[in-house]
């Protein structure tokens, strides 16, 4: 019997496993996928250059422990705000300075209103405090949806305001996914991880824990469960006995939203902009057409990475990779001309919402249910702990939040093991 089984090898599970192994515990990390990292995934094969299919930004960098890890590992990141590099295309022309400033004031006003409502203790839908009469409402709504991975109608203002944001958001040159992997390896280079080993059941009915896998029934004194909320809410991972009703309710109240990407590589710079430039596109001629924003020439690579959120992202994933490519290319050709089509050398798309092992992007509390996030930190029978971005009260939706909860769960497990051994 092992000391601890960690279920899930994303940022949280890797951090938990590495901390436990580092401290001498007998631990194994079980991962259903054929790779580790979860939503921290740097794709190095599809387009010939590394790009993050999932998390990419060192959010709140000055308080982000993974930034310190990046510094120690020599992994560079871009320490620059995005606004100074941002332009906006309006469907048939580029916005002038006055229009850009007006658009950003509207976006800032919307975000401020949502944050203020949460600070006042109001647990309502973000849409209730946004102004649809604002001329730039569509763009503000797009950004709110993109940042939260959910439409404003499905976003709790109270939960939104709980997020601790320093405003320092730095992209990682070689990929955030690569950083997460390297940070775990730095902590424990020989951490036992088994991929392709899905756990279907966590049995906590006895004095220890048993997990059901294709490799048989594995036993441990404790378990740390570090899988997305949607997987548990959908029954992708079962528990015996069943989860207590208040905990089961919390997993359902904090579903993963949708945030997807379309990455397009070209045979050279077709945009005429500097490295890591940012462009918003919104067609003022067609109110039904959804906005999309792009990172252009990330760290000098001849690419465009389009970012999609909410219902639009989920709908395009359901329609398939070609629909995602068409949507992104339509906006790019409006802005940079049809000739860029013949310069395309490769396209790759994400599908987080349709991945049964993930089920979406990151968690956001439904309106009226923000307090339920705190329930995810409870322990089952003093032998099953939970970790992951959704468990973090102030850094949810981030890799560093997941990382921190993994470390916290590992420390709790170590304390429990010590107590049992005493």
Given this model, what pLDDT does residue 86 score?
82
pLDDT band, very low/low/confident/very high, at 82 (cuts 50, 70, 90): low
Is pLDDT above 90 for 61? Answer: yes
CA–chain centroid gap for 264, Å, is: 21
Mean local confidence (pLDDT), 49-53: 98
Calculate what percentage of the chain has a pLDDT beyond 90. 97
Residue ranges of the chain that CATH labels 3.90.660: 83-105+132-151+257-354
- pTM as predicted: 0.96
Mean pLDDT (whole number) for 144-159: 98
Nearest to 368 by CA among 73, 154, 100, 171: 154
Residue 375 pLDDT grade (very low, low, confident, very high; cuts 50, 70, 90): very high
**CA-CA distances (angstroms) from residue 407 to 291, 358, 403?**
38, 21, 6
**Architecture of the domain defined by 83-105+132-151+257-354:** Alpha-Beta Complex (3.90)
pLDDT value of position 421: 42
Asked whether the beta carbons of 251 and 243 are under 8 A apart, the reply is yes
Stretch 4-16: mean pLDDT: 98
Which pLDDT value is given to residue 422? 35
Token pair 């209103």 is at which residue? 113
pLDDT at residue 187, rounded to an integer = 93
pLDDT surpassing 60 at residue 271:
yes
Give the residue range(s) of CATH 3.50.50.60 domains in the chain: 2-76+171-255+364-421
Q: What is the mean pLDDT of residues 45-49?
A: 97
Q: Tell whether the model's pLDDT for residue 39 goes beyond 50.
A: yes
Quick: pLDDT tens for 401-413. Answer: 999 999 999 999 9
Token pair recorded at residue 284: 């003022």
Mean pLDDT of the chain: 96
In the numeric block, the tokens 């590495």 are attached to 18
Q: What is the mean pLDDT of residues 215-234?
A: 98
Residue-wise pLDDT for 311-354, tens only, equals 999 999 999 999 999 999 999 999 999 999 999 999 999 999 99
Report how far residue 256's alpha carbon sits from residue 235's, in angstroms, rounded to the nearest whole number. Answer: 14
* Inter-CA distances, 263 with 43, 62, 182, 325, 329, Å: 11, 29, 24, 8, 10
> What does the pLDDT look like over 94-149, one tens digit per residue?
999 999 999 999 999 999 999 999 999 999 999 999 999 999 999 999 999 999 99
Which tens digit of pLDDT belongs to each residue from 238-263?
A: 999 999 999 999 999 999 999 999 99
pLDDT confidence tier of residue 174, bands split at 50, 70 and 90: very high
Pick the CATH number of 2-76+171-255+364-421 from 3.40.50.9100, 3.50.50.60, 1.10.10.10, 1.20.1050.10: 3.50.50.60
Indicate the length of the chain as a whole number. Answer: 422
Quickly state the pLDDT bin for 419 (edges 50, 70, 90).
confident
């Amino acid at each position: 019997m092992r000391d601890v089984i960690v279920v899930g090898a994303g940022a949280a599970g890797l951090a938990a496993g590495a901390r436990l192994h580092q401290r001498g515990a007998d631990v194994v990390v079980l991962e259903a996928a054929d790779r580790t990292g979860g939503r921290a995934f740097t794709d190095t094969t599809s387009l010939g250059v590394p790009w993050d299919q999932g998390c990419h930004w060192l959010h709140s960098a000055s308080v982000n422990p993974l930034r310190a890890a990046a510094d120690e590992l020599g992994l560079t990141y871009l320490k620059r705000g995005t606004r100074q590099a941002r332009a906006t295309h309006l469907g048939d022309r580029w916005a002038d300075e006055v229009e850009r400033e007006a658009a950003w004031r509207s976006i800032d006003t919307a975000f401020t209103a949502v944050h203020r409502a949460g600070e006042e203790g109001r647990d309502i839908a973000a849409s209730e405090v946004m102004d649809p009469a604002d001329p730039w409402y569509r763009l503000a709504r797009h950004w709110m949806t993109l940042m939260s991975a959910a439409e404003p109608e499905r976003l709790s203002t109270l939960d939104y305001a709980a997020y601790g944001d320093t405003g320092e958001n730095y992209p990682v040159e070689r990929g955030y996914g690569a950083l997460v992997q390297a940070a775990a390896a730095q902590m424990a280079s020989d951490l036992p991880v088994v991929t392709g080993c899905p756990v279907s059941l966590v049995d906590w009915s006895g004095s220890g824990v048993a997990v059901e896998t294709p490799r048989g029934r594995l036993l441990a004194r404790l378990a740390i469960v570090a899988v997305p909320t949607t997987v548990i809410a959908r029954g992708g991972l079962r528990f015996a006995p069943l989860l207590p009703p208040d905990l089961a309710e919390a997993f359902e109240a904090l579903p993963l939203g949708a945030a997807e990407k379309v990455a397009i590589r070209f045979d050279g710079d077709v945009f005429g902009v500097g490295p890591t430039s940012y462009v918003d596109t919104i067609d003022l001629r067609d109110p039904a057409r959804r906005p999309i924003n792009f990172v252009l020439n990330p760290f000098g690579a001849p690419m465009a990475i389009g970012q999609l959120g909410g219902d639009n992202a989920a709908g395009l994933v359901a329609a398939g990779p070609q629909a995602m490519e068409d949507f992104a290319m339509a906006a790019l050709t409006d802005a940079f001309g049809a000739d860029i089509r013949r310069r395309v050398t490769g396209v790759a798309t994400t599908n987080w919402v349709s991945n049964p092992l993930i089920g979406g992007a990151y968690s956001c509390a439904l309106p009226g249910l923000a307090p339920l996030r705190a329930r995810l930190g409870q322990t089952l029978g003093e032998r099953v702990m939970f970790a992951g971005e959704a468990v973090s009260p102030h850094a949810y939706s981030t890799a560093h939040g997941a990382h921190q909860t993994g470390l916290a769960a590992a420390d709790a497990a170590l304390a429990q093991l010590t107590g049992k051994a005493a």
